[in-house]
Amino acid sequence: MHSNTINNRIMQRSNLARVLRTIYESGGISRRDVAIRTGLTPSSVTNIVSRLLDEKLVRESVQTCEEGLAVGRPPIRLEIANDRYAVIGVELSADRITAVVTDFIGTPLAVGNDDNSGANPPEVATRKIHDLVLRLLKEARVDRECVLGLGLMSSGPYDPETGHMFNPTNFDNWLDVPIRALVEASLGFPVSFDRDSVGCALEAQINESDEGSLFAVLVNTIGIGGALVINGEVYYGLHNCAAEIGCMTVIPDGPLCRCGDRGCLEAVSSADALLGYIRQRVAEGAEDPFDGCCGTADAEQLAAAYRAGKPLAVEAVERGAKYLGIAIGNVIKIACPDVVAIGGSFLTALPEYYSLIVTQARARRQAEPRFIPFAHGPIQCALGGVRLVIMNYFKALEH
C-alpha cells in the first residue's frame, strides 16, 4: 500500500512536470492541445492546470481568432506566468564577468558586466559575481524571494555534479575550486554549474528541434571551446570534455598553449593568439598594424585594424579563421551535426570573423550542416545559464 502511494505521487509529479513543460515550450497552448501532446486525459490536464493556476505558475488568456473564423466561445490559451520567478545567468571568464537577470521564460530584465582577471583568486571572482548580481537585481526590481536560481557558466576542466573547477587553463592556480559552493554561500541562491560552451549550446538549441544535433563553437578573446547537443541533451563524454575543440591540435609543434601542448586551436585562433602572432611577425620586421603599439593592442584594436585593411591584421585574422575552419570541419566529418552555431566575445568585436570561419569550414566539409551565429552576442553564455536553471527546475519536478 505504501509503495503504491509513493508511485502515485511520483506519477502525479511527473505528469505535472510534463504539462508545465509543454505549456512552457509552446509559448501558449489550449488545454485540448496539452492533452494531445502529453497523452494525458482531458480531465487529468484540467486538474493539473487548476493546480498550476493556483500556484500562479501559469495564466489564462483569450486566444484571438482570425475575423470571420471564430464560432462560439473563444478558446482559452494557457501561458507561463513569466513574472512568477526571476532567473540569473552568469558567465565567469578569465577577462570578464557577464550577468543577466531574466523573467521565468528567459526574457532579459537587466544585463551587466565587470572586468575580471585570470590572476584573481576564487574569492575575488566570487565577490565580483556577488556585487554584479545584486546590482542587477536592484536594477530589475526583483526581490530575492522571487529568484528561482542562478546558472553559472565557466571554463573546464570541471565537474558539473560537484561544481568544482580543476586547474582551468586561463585561471591561475585554480587547482580544485568549489566555485558553485562559493557562489551559493555568497548569494544564498541555488546554483547550477556547467562550462561556458555548454551554456552557449543550450541557448542556441532553444530555437532548434530537440531531434538532431547541434555543435556550438565559442570563440572568446582568450579561449575557444565547444559543446555538442544531441536530441536535446548535452553530450559530455569522458571527464565532461566532449567537443572541447580549444585544445585540438591544428599545427603540430605550433605555438605553446596554456594547457602545456603545442599547436592547439586556442593558441592559434583566439584573439589573444592572433595578437601574439602579430607581435611575432612585427619582431621579425613586418609592419606594425597598430602604429607601434602592438605590445598593448587588444581585440577591439585588432578588429579596427582588420577593417582598416592593415595587411598584417588581415593576414592574422584570415590565418586564425583558416585553422578554426579546419577544426570545425574535422568535427563535422566525425559528428555530422545538423547545426553549427558560432559566436563569442571576439566575434562580437569582429563579426566578419564568423563569415571567414564558415567559408573555411565549408571548404573542408563532407556533410552540409546549417551554420548560424549566436543570436544573443555577448550574453549568449549567460542566457545559457538561465536555460540550465530552468532545465534543472523541470528535472527536479519530475522526481
CATH superfamily of 86-201+381-398: ATPase, nucleotide binding domain (3.30.420.40)
The whole-number average pLDDT for the span 189-200 is 96
227, HSE (Cβ side, Cα atoms, 13 Å): 27
Q: What tens digit of pLDDT does each residue of 348-398 get?
A: 999 999 999 999 999 986 778 999 999 999 999 999 999 999 999 999 987
Question: Domain 209-374 maps to which CATH number in 3.40.109.10, 3.40.50.10540, 3.30.420.40, 3.40.50.9100?
Answer: 3.30.420.40
Contacts of 259 (CB under 8 A, 6+ apart): 169, 247, 266
Which conformational region is residue 309 in: left (phi greater than 0), alpha (psi within -120 to 50 degrees), or beta? left
Residue 227 β-bridge partners: 216
Residue-wise pLDDT for 149-176, tens only, equals 999 999 989 999 999 999 898 899 999 9
Grid coordinates representing 174 are 585554480
241-267 in b/e burial notation, b at 16+ Cβ within 10 A? ebbbbbbbbbeeebeebbbeeebbbbb
Indicate the pLDDT class of residue 130, thresholds 50, 70 and 90.
very high
Least confident of 161-170, 205-214, 285-294, 328-337: 205-214
At 1, is the pLDDT very low, low, confident or very high (cuts 50, 70, 90)? very low
Same fold, 86-201+381-398 and 209-374: yes
Confidence label for 73 from pLDDT (cuts 50, 70 and 90): low
What percentage of the chain has pLDDT greater than the value 70? 94
What pLDDT shows up at residue 70? 54
Band (pLDDT 50/70/90 cuts) for residue 68 is very low
Q: What is the pLDDT of residue 367?
A: 75
Find the largest Cα–Cα distance for the chain: 84
pLDDT surpassing 90 at residue 11: no
CA dihedral 76, 79, 84, 89 (to 10 degrees): -170
Class of domain 1-80: mainly alpha
The strand pairing partners of 62, in sequence order, are: 76
Count the Cβ atoms, other than its own, within 10 Å of residue 216: 32
- CA atoms of 337 and 181, how far apart (whole Å): 34
Nearest one of 121, 96, 135, 218 to 172, comparing CA atoms: 121
Rounded to the nearest 10 degrees, what angle do helices 2-26 and 31-38 cross at?
A: 120
Angle between helical axes of 299-307 and 311-335 (0-180°, round to 10): 110
pLDDT at 64: 64
Residue 104 in this model has a pLDDT that exceeds 80: yes
How far, in Å, CA of 224 to CA of 298, rounded?
Answer: 17
Average pLDDT, the chain: 92
Ramachandran angles phi, psi of 331, nearest 5°: -65, -40
Q: Report the distance separating Cα 168 and Cα 193, nearest Å.
A: 15
Helix ranges restricted to H, the chain:
2-26, 31-38, 42-54, 122-140, 179-187, 196-205, 266-269, 271-283, 299-307, 311-335, 345-349, 352-362, 380-397
- Residues 26, 5: Cα–Cα separation, whole Å: 32
Among 246, 199, 223, smallest CA distance to 341 is for 199
108 pLDDT more than 60: yes
Read off the pLDDT of each residue in 312-319 and give the average, rounded to a whole number: 98
Quote the CA–CA distance of 108 and 101 in Å, as a whole number. 6
Handedness of CA 289, 292, 295, 301 (dihedral sign): negative
Which three three-digit cell numbers place residue 316?
592574422
**pLDDT for the residue 6:** 47
Q: Are 101 and 121 in contact (CB under 8 A)?
A: no
For the chain, the domains span: 1-80, 86-201+381-398, 209-374
Residue 63 has pLDDT above 90, yes or no: no
Residue 112 has a CB neighbour count (10 Å cut-off) of 16
